Amino acid sequence: MSMHRSHILICSGSNCSHRQSRAVRSRLRQAITETGLEREFKVIETGCFGLCQQGPIMVIYPEGVHYCRVQADDIDEIVQTHLQKGRVVTRLLFKSGTEQSVELPKTAFYQKQKRVVLRNVGLIDPENIEESLARDGYQGLAKVLDTLSPEAVIAEVTNSGLQGRGGAGFPAGRKWEFTRKAPGDQKYVVCNADEGEPGTSKDRLILEGDPHTIIEGMAIAGYAVGATKGFIYIRGEYQLSLQRFRQAVAQAKEYGLLGQDILGSGFHFDIEVRSGAGAYVCGEETALLNSLEGKRGEPRYKPPFPANFGLWGKPTLINNVETLANIGPILIHGADWYRSIGSPECPGTKVFTLSGNIANRGLIEVPMGITLREIVEDIGGGIPNGRHFKMAQTGGTSGGCLAVQHLDLPVDIPHLAEVGSSLGSGALLVVDDSHCMVDLARVFLKFFAHESCGQCTPCREGTTLLKRLVDKIASGSGTAADIKAMRRLSTTMQMTSLCGLGQTVPTPVLTMLAYFNDEFMEHLDGGACATGVCRAAVKGVV
Amino acid sequence: MREWVRQTVEQFGRDRHQLLEILGHLQRGRSYLEKETLLAVAEELDLPAAEVYGTATFYSLYSTVPRGKHIIRVCENAPCHIDGAAAVLAAVQAYLGLQVNETTEDGRFTLETTSCLGICSAAPALMIDDDVHGNLTPESAVGILKNLA
């Protein structure tokens, strides 16, 4: 094995790729060959570093210098100045406001983060299983197969307090226990990677950056619940995730970490990779099961729950990507370690995608219970362009809209539920004071009206009616009765919709009406939109 | 055509649960799934034609009507909206002379909207065929279209 003086890590995740990182990577390899430095410098393509706003990002080790917004034209300078002369190229260093830093981990963006799920993302080459193994890859699985009974694994997951990270927040250990106890010879493990919530890309960046941690989590889950077969359902738009995951499964099989008699334990487990075909509702677990069966992705009535009646009617455990990425570390370090992170009622970390009017957009992982202000101001770097904070929506388009009075709220499942919002998928959309809430409500409801699958009446009709009402308010012809109708319709949808889609459409609507009520009132009876957004937008549509 | 469908079905397995994979494979490199193709799939899998058609029309990545050589999908979800997606969409519409879900007469472009492409750090974004473009302005979006073959 050849040793290199230095490793150059460069992001090959989707969020950098669209910024021409592919051209940067090939130019870098070319320049290193041209200068005869290939024996000294090794180029490694990794997953996301998190600071997507400043991508493409490159890190040079051992010194740990991070370069941001690197373009192909910058490569010659980096090679000549940094690699050949050992001098830092200052103009490409991280800058945010007044802050400038040579090493990204020392920036405010990283200081308040805690990386459990993303522990290997941006550090390893996701296409090389050896790099995963050299970190902690498959250690949890090895420990489980070697020393723990399925019941003991479930006890550990239950004691860790891990709650589902896909949106609903159901205790993971209990879900595992229900599936374990359900009668049936054939059981399945399904990983839900149909990430469609607007503003969310965490699952994709986990799959692209560390696919082996998901394989490991699924295999441990299979052992615990008594399943020998797993499926992962990846969103059809996520071509890189599909490609990387298929490759990772093939490598794991080659190394005896999937397939027959894993690590000589007598346990068999296989994973089949399936692609979605463009339907938001398939992120709902029973709709996903129907889609896996080759049907229209329409949700099923619950109960029976998938733990008893899942894929082809067999007991099925469905977990989100991020939930499964926590499993390896929990089994390696134990439930007590996991409980030491986060808040007592909501242990662990949460991965968020920051978007909107915020300086540092990107991928972050924070301990549960961190305040909204810490995320927005310290990690996110605040609101750019001299604007002010107006609203933060947690959990994606189906999440609640919080206002300035919520900035000191701890961000975890119970605290967000108290103010009518949810942690959801981990999207965090920050909006400044140049935007109008009525206008945003139109965007949300247009999305839902399009994505409602149409199976149940409350959701099919409710989404369209809500959209009409808010369009009317935006146009200036709304009345107090329309606001009342929005509230009534929302309550009906919450109570009577078949699945989580229809039940959560009212979350943004009701939180907006609660925390931005004045703004809706201003639009009524011919009133004006204070930001001027609505008048322009409505004219454009009508 | 029939033989091609039969081979595809055999490659994936004569199972209902492979239907999405089969449809995806059959549409690859083409703009849509023809009626004859869907009927052949139904026969090969021994399914009612309505089941196959119903499944194909449920998912937005499949089409049962002809589309252009390039499919342009503009994201209009909230993170893109607050960064000017409406202006980008309007510029693209004006340049192509199309409303959403229409195809140019020369068959080169179809304009669609899409839900979140997951690159909100570079909003507003659009996707052309399999390539995602971010940090758009109305001018840069039209510039990208002008450079398409």
pLDDT band at A498 (very low <50, low <70, confident <90, very high): very high
Cα–Cα distance list, A68 to A90, A96, A223 (Å): 10, 11, 43
CA distance A125 to A210: 8
DSSP string, B49-71: HHHHHHHHHHSTT--SS---SEE
**Helix A457-474 / helix A437-451 crossing angle, nearest 10 deg:** 150
Q: Is the pLDDT of residue A539 over 60?
A: no
Q: What is the mean pLDDT of residues A262-273?
A: 97
Residue type (1 letter), A130: E
Q: Is the pLDDT of residue A143 over 60?
A: yes
Strand ranges for A242-304 from DSSP E: 270-275
Q: Is the pLDDT of residue A62 over 70?
A: yes
A and B: number of Cβ contacts within 8 A: 143
Spell out the domains of chain A, with CATH numbers in brackets. 6-107 (3.40.30.10), 129-337 (3.40.50.11540), 344-432 (3.10.20.600), 437-538 (1.20.1440.230)
CA distance A451 to B114: 11
Strand A427-432 and strand A349-356: the pairing is: parallel
Q: Which uninterrupted H or E stretch holds A428?
A: strand A427-432
Chain A residues touching residue B134 (CB < 8 angstroms)? 18-19
CA distance A65 to A63: 6
Quote the pLDDT of residue A70.
Answer: 94
pLDDT band at A542 (very low <50, low <70, confident <90, very high): very low
Residue from A92, A71, A3 nearest A42 by CA: A3
Residue from A189, A200, A188, A149 nearest A324 by CA: A189
Residue from A166, A117, A225 nearest A427 by CA: A166
> Residue A215: left if φ>0, alpha if ψ -120 to 50, beta else—which one?
alpha
Q: Is the pLDDT of residue A237 over 90?
A: no
Summarised one tens digit per residue, pLDDT across range A283-294 is 999 999 999 999
Chain B residues touching residue A397 (CB < 8 angstroms)? 77-78
Q: What is the mean pLDDT of residues A164-177?
A: 94
**Helix A139-147 / helix A211-225 crossing angle, nearest 10 deg:** 20
Q: What is the mean pLDDT of residues A26-46?
A: 93
Contact B118 A238 (CB under 8 A): yes
Q: Which of A243, A443, A505 to mutate to test the interface with B (most CBs of B within 10 A)?
A: A443
Is A182 in contact with A174 (CB distance < 8 Å)?
Answer: no
Q: Residue A362: closest CA among chain B residues belongs to which residue?
A: B121
Task: Tell me the three state secondary structure of residue A233.
Answer: strand
Quote the pLDDT of residue A538.
Answer: 61
In chain B, the N- to C-terminal Cα span, in Å, equals 28
The 3-class SS string of A332-401 reads HHCHHHHHCCEECCEECEEEEEEEECCCCCEEEEEECCCEHHHHHHHHCCCCCCCCCEEEEEECCCCCCE
Quote the pLDDT of residue A98.
Answer: 76
**Helix A211-225 / helix A172-181 crossing angle, nearest 10 deg:** 40
Residue % of chain A over a pLDDT of 90: 87
Residue % of chain B over a pLDDT of 70: 99
Summarised one tens digit per residue, pLDDT across range A125-134 is 999 999 999 9
Is A210 in contact with A187 (CB distance < 8 Å)?
Answer: no
Quote the pLDDT of residue A66.
Answer: 92
Q: Which uninterrupted H or E stretch holds A100?
A: strand A99-101
CA distance B50 to chain A (A): 11
Contact B16 A354 (CB under 8 A): no
Higher pLDDT, A540 or A247: A247
Summarised one tens digit per residue, pLDDT across range B45-98 is 999 999 999 999 999 999 999 999 999 999 999 999 999 999 999 999 999 999
Quote the pLDDT of residue A168.
Answer: 85
Is A346 in contact with A414 (CB distance < 8 Å)?
Answer: yes
Contact A294 B15 (CB under 8 A): yes
Q: Which two tokens stand for residue A488?
A: 């009534």
Chain A residues touching residue B42 (CB < 8 angstroms)? none
Q: Is the pLDDT of residue A28 over 90?
A: yes
Cα–Cα distance list, A263 to A137, A228, B52 (Å): 14, 15, 42
> Can you name the residues that pair with A349 across neighbouring β-strands?
A367
Query: How many helices and strands (H and E) does chain A possess?
Result: 23, 17
Q: What is the mean pLDDT of residues A81-106?
A: 87
Q: What is the mean pLDDT of residues A325-343?
A: 98
Chain B residues touching residue A239 (CB < 8 angstroms)? 130
Contact A293 B122 (CB under 8 A): no
Is A255 in contact with A128 (CB distance < 8 Å)?
Answer: no
Contact B122 A18 (CB under 8 A): yes
CA distance A489 to A511: 14
Q: Which two tokens stand for residue A87?
A: 């001098």
CA distance A110 to A259: 38
CA distance B39 to B22: 13
In chain A, the N- to C-terminal Cα span, in Å, equals 67
CA distance A473 to A519: 11
Is A18 in contact with B144 (CB distance < 8 Å)?
Answer: no
Quote the pLDDT of residue A541.
Answer: 46
Residue from A190, A251, A254 nearest A222 by CA: A190
Identify the burial level of A89 via C-beta atoms within 10 angstroms of its C-beta, where 0-12 means exposed, 13-18 middle and 19 or more buried. Answer: middle
Cβ neighbours of residue A54 closer than 8 Å, sequence gap 6 or more: A68, A69, A94, A96, A360, A362
Is A400 in contact with A151 (CB distance < 8 Å)?
Answer: no
Q: Residue B129: closest CA among chain A residues belongs to which residue?
A: A237
Contact A453 B58 (CB under 8 A): yes
Chain B residues touching residue A15 (CB < 8 angstroms)? 119, 121-122
Contact B78 A199 (CB under 8 A): yes
CA distance A52 to chain B (A): 6
Other beta carbons within 10 angstroms of residue B84's beta carbon come to 16
Is B59 in contact with B52 (CB distance < 8 Å)?
Answer: no
Contact A18 B125 (CB under 8 A): yes
**Helix B138-146 / helix B85-96 crossing angle, nearest 10 deg:** 40
pLDDT band at B38 (very low <50, low <70, confident <90, very high): very high
Sheet holding B109-114, edge to edge: B102-103, B109-114, B70-75, B126-128, B131-133
CA distance A505 to A486: 12
Contact B120 A279 (CB under 8 A): no
CA distance A467 to A365: 34
Q: Residue A451: closest CA among chain B residues belongs to which residue?
A: B115
Q: What are phi and psi of A380, to 5 degrees?
A: -75, -15
Task: Using CB atoms, pick whichever of A52, A236, A296 lies closest to residue B61.
Answer: A236
